[in-house]
Amino acid sequence: MRDKRWFQLLVGAVLIFTLVLLVSKTSFMFEPAMKYINAVAVPFIGAGILFYITKPVMHFFERFKIPRIPAIILVFLLITALLTLFVLYIFPIAQRQFENLIDNIPKMVKSSQNLLVLLQSYDIVIPEQIDEAIDHFMSNIQTYIENTMSYLFGFIANLITFVASLFLIPFFLFFMLKDSHKFIPFITQGFSKRRAENIKSLLEKIDETLTAFIQGQLIVSFILGVLLFIAYLIIDLNYALTLALFALVMNVIPFVGPLLAVVPALIVGAFQDPMMVVWVALVTLIVQQIESNLISPNVMGRVLALHPLTVITVILAAGSIAGFLGILFAVPTYAVLKTIYVHFYHMYQARKRNNESTA
């Protein structure tokens, strides 16, 4: 019976559940390690994203016989120049537009109240549940604002810690760019030649998956943000730059991001001119079609081969478990896990064929 496949799977499942139970009962032993991971998570993840963005630039400089250290310095100078241009020319405009948008929120709320009064004056029937929800919101709007402000103060405190961690990103990035080629030899040095080649192949596939996702997603998001900014300028939408920057950031999240990105633009358009909602929806649809049919296939290709339904399911599950961070990292984590599974599955199939051929 021990040779039966079902028995081996059952024993494996029991061992896994036993291990999970033991880890949950001894979680206090892992607290120092978790605190260390939390301390370095922000600079490590930030530097990792920048590493995959800047690695091609460093290799480009190296093609001109520039040594690695000077090439890395050139990469840092390029990043500094781009940040300087953003701070000097783009950020002030976006800041003014954002401040104007915040200042106009009370006017938008007042307009909504006037619209409700107008609808009621014409005896337009509003469902009782909606009417109660609106009245509840309007009567408690001061409480909502106070809660939002207290949340913002807590967010600012966390933001200070986050910004302090950002200063470590350049150091992490420097050593990632400098020593990335030593990582795989360091991991495989303690294994036999055959196993080392297997681990090397797996790590290279994971690296290709992360490269395809991070570079592709950021490039697609940037192009999408630029196209939306141009489209918003064409239809003369207010706060075009701020809304386009928001869309650029949101589009980093696969599938869900584009839906979140268009909501503020539709709200602003509705208060600017009711017809503007149609124009915003139209230009957003056009830009999304350009992205899905032209930009993404050429930038990201079919490297990840992730089905849209699978991605949506993974994002929803990760969001319910880990909130916004879960949504943000769900797809690359799933892509890496799928790469690992496919690698070992192909190994199993190859070993099975070899055993059949030698039998």
Are residues 63 and 134 both part of a single domain?
yes
Are residues 157 and 237 both part of a single domain?
no
237: left (phi over 0), alpha (psi -120 to 50) or beta: beta
Are residues 178 and 286 both part of a single domain?
no
For the chain, how many structural domains are there in total? Answer: 2
Are residues 343 and 220 both part of a single domain?
yes
pTM across the whole model:
0.75
List of the chain residues with pLDDT < 70: 1-6, 8, 27, 30, 108-164, 297-308, 358-359
| Segment holding 299, helix H or strand E | helix 296-299
User: What pLDDT is attached to residue 93?
Assistant: 84
User: What pLDDT is attached to residue 174?
Assistant: 92
Are residues 332 and 267 both part of a single domain?
yes
d(CA 277, CA 62): 49
**Residue 68 is assigned to a structural domain of this protein:** yes
**Residue 223 is assigned to a structural domain of this protein:** yes
Domain boundary (189, 207, 240) is at: 189
**Residue 31 is assigned to a structural domain of this protein:** no
User: What pLDDT is attached to residue 234?
Assistant: 92
Are residues 132 and 183 both part of a single domain?
yes
Domain boundary (189, 212, 243) is at: 189
Nearest-Å Rg of the Cα atoms of the chain is: 26
Are residues 207 and 327 both part of a single domain?
yes
Domain boundary (159, 174, 189) is at: 189
Here the tokens at position 41 are: 């998570």
Domain carrying residue 352 = 194-359
Here the tokens at position 18 are: 């036993």
User: What pLDDT is attached to residue 117?
Assistant: 60
Are residues 221 and 172 both part of a single domain?
no
